[in-house]
Chains A and B, each alone.
Chain A
Amino acid sequence: MTISIRNISLFAVTALLFVIVGQVQSWSLSLSILNLCLISAIMALGVNIQWGYAGLLNVGVMGFAALGGLAAVLVSSPPVAAAWSVGGGNLLVGLLIAALTVGLIVWCYYDMRGTKRRVLIAIVAVAGYFATRAFWDPAADAIEAVDPAATGFLGGAGMPIIFAWLIGGLFAAGAAWIVGKISLGLRSDYLAIATLGISEIIIAMLKNEDWLTRGVKNVIGLPRPVPYEVDIQQSAYFQELAADWGMSIIELSSMVVKLSYAGLFAIVLLIVLYLSETALRSPWGRMMRAIRDNETAAEAMGKDVKGRHLQVFILGSAVVGIAGAMLTTIDGQFTPSSYQPLRFTFLIWAMVIVGGSGNNWGAVLGGFIIWFFWVEAEPIGLWFMDLITSSMDESNPLRLHLLDSAAHIRLMAMGVIMLLVLRFAPQGLIPERRR
């Protein structure tokens, strides 16, 4: 057996946590946490593919997740015909010119040398920039002027949101290809810094390109892949069921919806997990580990280290993108300003480190445990602060400040947990299997 008793019991304890929350707080909350745990686990798998398989540091998880969110908008929102008619054409021309410019620059870069190359690249870049903006700016303005309170953007393809999960992966993979091309093959720090940069830029773009994402006005009411609560409440079958089980129909409907999400997410998680495990066991996985453990030796044996790194970086980012699209799906809305690096990058890292880098099951467990803790730390922190300050006067400023700041304790706690794991159990809860 590859999965030991220890690992099974770790997962069992995690399952128990959900039961406790279900009993003590509410089952609805327990299911909400579970859904986000499933998404977190997929994201952690993506980072684990990069870090655990190949030792690549991606500090821009946030950006790739946000690209998944963008995909959800672009796939599922209904298209805004008026916006397309006022600006769509010009926008596409602008896009074409931009693409042409980049293509020309790349061609100049590879095909020429010396001063000629530099001058030509500068000319092409400047000319391309102004030509693009000449078409782009009026188009964007026109689109954003179309009923700004309700739309003001191009809208999406109006397709089922579930397709966005795949498209989100492709978006993230595309961004990863660009970042990887630039920064792989240099020191590992540079990849970390480059990914940090690209993620900030992606977020800035999502916040400001209103014609694409409505920016900080957010896109709300994205269609769901599962039934709506109101529809369930109408159904006679469920009304009977609720009566039989002695639950309110509102509670039942919300649980049914959450369970259907959980089912979908679990399917994706299992597929990704299965593929990751298969890949890890395959000759490809063996080669990846060989490269990670001794790059020089692998290179000397004729392995294309940079190419393999690019491959694994793209794959991992794609998985993060899929999870990002799923997250926007369950939120039902796309809010660019909600993407914070602490929540979307560093928390995922905590999952991978705590779970066990290099082990897919570990990443999944880490995703569950860390997200669970992240959510539950707030009430626990508040309870704790209340306890230690209970002897103080109700209006004692220190007590008020401590109660007020209890929410921030989880950040500190997360840092400490990561440091403790790194120091005393660097392999994580479920260590990488040596074979």
Chain B
Amino acid sequence: MSFLLGKNMTGGYGGADILHDCTIGVEKGEVAVVVGPNGAGKSTAMKAVFGMLNIREGNVTMDGEDITALTPQARVQKGMGFVPQTHNVFTSMSVEENLEMGAFIRNDDISGTMAQVFDLFPILKEKRNQPAGELSGGQRQQVAVGRALMTQPKVLMLDEPTAGVSPIVMDELFDRIIEIARTGIAILMVEQNAKQALNIADKGYVLAQGRNLYTDTGEALLADPDVRKAFLGG
């Protein structure tokens, strides 16, 4: 039983089902990666876990508690952090204000958490007073991840965090994500760059047409000739 588990999820955005009996989950301190071709339902699966669409069948549990009926906002309160793929920073607000907004639901002292985020992403400390909209793509992603970390979540969910950033920045970002996982946070992410992502994954899910195709450790998936041929370009 994973710490966060979306089990046998079936559903869509109201029309036809997009997910069919799909299961994804992640343990504390681990990185789980969801990969698959375009239109495989990767992002949809993630959104289903976060409560952004209604699933007809299946359930979502966190730490053994059934959270299927909760709104996304309530899930944030329960300890889930979510970084959307696009529009994931407040462009007109400074980096520091972005982080403060991340901690909006907290009423305790947030300076410690902010210092941790600045330790993790030193560039943000340097640019703390600059509007997030003026930062580069990679830096924006750091702000987005930092913002989500400000609630001190138990689970961090990332929707294609490396979309549109250069390979160097991508490696750097993955390093940081591993670092975050080491602090005991469960990380679930959807990735387009399957090879690199599976490299750092403790667990990998290969989806196609809303179904689980392969589920294994990242290493094993990378080694699997079928997966390589079909999804990783040989």
**In-complex A–B contact (CB below 8 Å):** no
